[in-house]
Amino acid sequence: MMSDGAEYSRAGEFDYVVVGGGSAGCVVAGRLAENRGATVALLEAGPRDWSPCVHVPAGVVATVPTRHCNWAFKTEPQEAFGGRRGYQPRGRVLGGSSAINAMIYTRGVPQDYDGWEVPGWSWREVLPYFKRAENNERGADDWHGVGGPLNVADLRSPNPVARRFVEAAQACGYPRNDDFNGAMQEGIGFYQVTQKDGRRCSAARAYLHGQDNLAVVTDAQATRVLFEGRRAVGVEFQRDGRRAVVRARREVVVSAGAFQSPQLLMLSGIGPGAALHSLGISVRHDSPQVGRNLQDHLDYVALYASRSLDLIGISLGGALKVAGEAVRYLATRRGMLTTNYAEAGGFLKTDPALALPDIQMHFVIGLVDDHARKWRFGHGMSLHVCQLRPASRGEVTLASADPLARPRIDPRFLSAPGDLAALVKGVRIARRIMAGDALAPVREAELQAPRDDSDAALAEAIRARADTIYHPAGTCRMGIDAASVVDAELCVRGVAGLRVADASIMPRLIAGNTNAPCVMIGEKAASLIRSTL
């Protein structure tokens, strides 16, 4: 049943059991295993991260639009989209979404964490965990760390068209920013990425190193947390069609993500009591907020055709170039295959009077139509714009008591009117940048363009085509109030021996990509657990 280090624990009993081998779960498991006197089991529903599509950065194009290493969830029909369902890629592989994401390293801003108003989670208190995790190839300073497991680097072979985008934004009056995680977030520039030597540095690659006191069990989908009385004592899971159990002497840590952490809690009897009872699930603790407070960044993509072979595309010339780039990558770990696609971008204000940026942009060196699920012949470029501080709130609920059934995901995008107004302003800024002279040599027609530049036309286009940019959070909310799902120590209220550590604990979604914050949450969770010894 067990793999990697199972010899020392034939009975399937460990000190700690971590559910979910993603951005936070790998961190928790790896850090807890540094205590050589402790035994740890890590359960991951997906396979090992052996796929080259995981390790070669450009391989993300084969995972996000498909079921390869991907749960590929869909949302409930969205009223604001005229009944259209959204698409929600999430990593189903060791490393979780850190194994299929665009590798962008951003943290948000200090005000995000101070705004949580949870003791121990202010910016001053979480910054040391960001720095502890990080090995920034630029070196250490007040904002960055070196020597940590997660390698953070500049792109090895930046695309020349991405440079043109940065120039076009600067010509529109937006400041250049070479470090979105430094003293100021606002501005346009190149993103740093979680790569090392031209390969993806997922949380699994960073934190899991074959420790003999750590059992990594893949293809193991957790079905419920087991209790004795009110104390969590293990996890039931399915592997190869068979039921299995792994027991925890000390704690169970759920790190299954913003969709599946609340799902597992509810399957285990922790959640809205009436809803669980209606599905025939025995209620262990009535916790109405489990699955509520779902937040996500809604994203609109502006598409532009091009003939430049510097851009990713489908053509004979492009195929020949990719073949040459594959040889280059194998020989040097440089070139086009090291791209994270979303090479440049930034954080801007839709109104100069705002205290902080309210939109984020990702400039992609290829055409990304419907999460790259719709292929277009030819070459092109895309500019994503998302609203950073959505007021809309959704929920995750159970579709049935079947633990293998997918959860119901309802983000309720644009249910708060101000979200659409901010995104309309952001799309107008994006189109203005893309019309800049610096991009003229490579820019052709805008594809699927709004009928005009009016607010009504832009809103219509957003409703027709916008979707997630993959940052769901908030469904196991942390807080000091009794209604919160977990407390400041990440302990699940109403039971003992059970914590949650992933993006689901965020009271409010941070203003940026969520991978680095999830790694921080994993670091802090491991520290909190070790402090109880």
Q: What is the pLDDT of residues 73-82, one digit of tens each?
A: 999 999 999 9
Same-fold call for 1-153+202-294+393-410+472-533 versus 156-190+298-387+414-465: no
Task: Using the predicted structure, report yes or no on whether residue 1 has a pLDDT greater than 60.
Answer: no
Kindly compute the dihedral angle of the four CA atoms of residues 74, 76, 80, 83, in this order, to the nearest 10 degrees: 90
Give the start-to-end residue ranges of the domains of the chain: 1-153+202-294+393-410+472-533, 156-190+298-387+414-465
In this prediction, residue 23 carries a pLDDT of 98
| 488-499 average pLDDT score | 98
486: DSSP letter? B
Q: Per-residue pLDDT for 183 more than 50? A: yes
CATH of domain 156-190+298-387+414-465: 3.30.410.40
32 vs 2, residue with greater confidence:
32
Q: What is the mean pLDDT of the chain?
A: 96
pLDDT band at 210 (very low <50, low <70, confident <90, very high): confident
Two tokens at 177? Answer: 């920013």
Determine if the pTM surpasses 0.95.
yes
pLDDT band at 316 (very low <50, low <70, confident <90, very high): confident
* Tokens read off for 523: 């670091």
| Residue 203, pLDDT above cutoff 50 | yes
- 360-386 pLDDT, tens per residue? 999 999 999 999 999 899 999 999 999
Phi, psi of 359 (to 5 degrees): -135, 155
What is the residue-wise DSSP string for 234-278?
Answer: EEEEEETTEEEEEEEEEEEEE--HHHHHHHHHHHTTEE-HHHHHH
- Residue from 64, 66, 192 nearest 516 by CA: 192
Q: Are the C-beta atoms of 256 and 237 separated by less than 8 Å?
A: no
CATH: 1.10.540.10, 3.20.20.70, 3.40.50.720, 3.50.50.60. Which one for 1-153+202-294+393-410+472-533?
3.50.50.60
User: What's the average model confidence in pLDDT over 330-344?
Assistant: 97
Mean pLDDT along residues 236-243 = 95
Q: How far apart are CA 351 and CA 495, in angstroms?
A: 46
> What pLDDT, in 10s, does the model give residues 275-312?
999 999 999 999 999 999 999 999 999 999 999 999 99
| SS3 of residue 170 by DSSP | helix
- For residue 318, the model assigns a pLDDT of 87
Share of the chain above pLDDT 90, in %: 95
CB 266 within 8 A of CB 401: no
| Active-site residue, selected from the candidate residues 144, 285, 379, 471 | 471
Per-residue pLDDT at 533 exceeds 80: no
pLDDT recorded at residue 292: 98
Backbone angles phi, psi at 247, to 5 degrees: -100, 150
Task: Indicate the pLDDT class of residue 199, thresholds 50, 70 and 90.
Answer: very high
Cβ–Cβ under 8 Å, residues 458 and 451: no
* 265 within 8 A of 396, measured Cβ to Cβ: no
pLDDT range class, residue 9, cuts 50, 70, 90: very low
pLDDT at position 337: 97
Lowest mean pLDDT across 75-89, 317-331, 435-449: 317-331
Q: Is residue 250 pLDDT above 50, yes or no?
A: yes
Q: What does DSSP say about strands 73-77 and 85-88: parallel, antiparallel, or unpaired?
A: antiparallel
Q: What angle do CA 155, 157, 163 make, to 5 degrees?
A: 85
Q: Give the pLDDT of residue 111.
A: 98
pLDDT in the model for residue 6: 39
> 25: closest CA among 88, 87, 93, 111?
93
Residue 434: which region, alpha, beta or left (left: phi > 0; alpha: psi -120 to 50)?
alpha
Q: What is the pLDDT of residue 320?
A: 87
CA distance linking residue 241 with residue 13, whole number of Å: 21
Cα separation, 428 vs 439, in Å, equals: 17
Average pLDDT value for residue range 468-473: 98
What is the rounded average pLDDT of the residues 90-104? 98
Distance CA 435, CA 429 (A): 10
Based on the residue annotation, tell me whether 471 is a catalytic residue of this protein.
Answer: yes
Answer whether residue 3 shows pLDDT above 60. no
Q: Is the pLDDT of residue 11 over 90?
A: no
Residue 357 corresponds to which tokens in the numbers above? 């940026």
Backbone angles phi, psi at 125, to 5 degrees: -85, -25
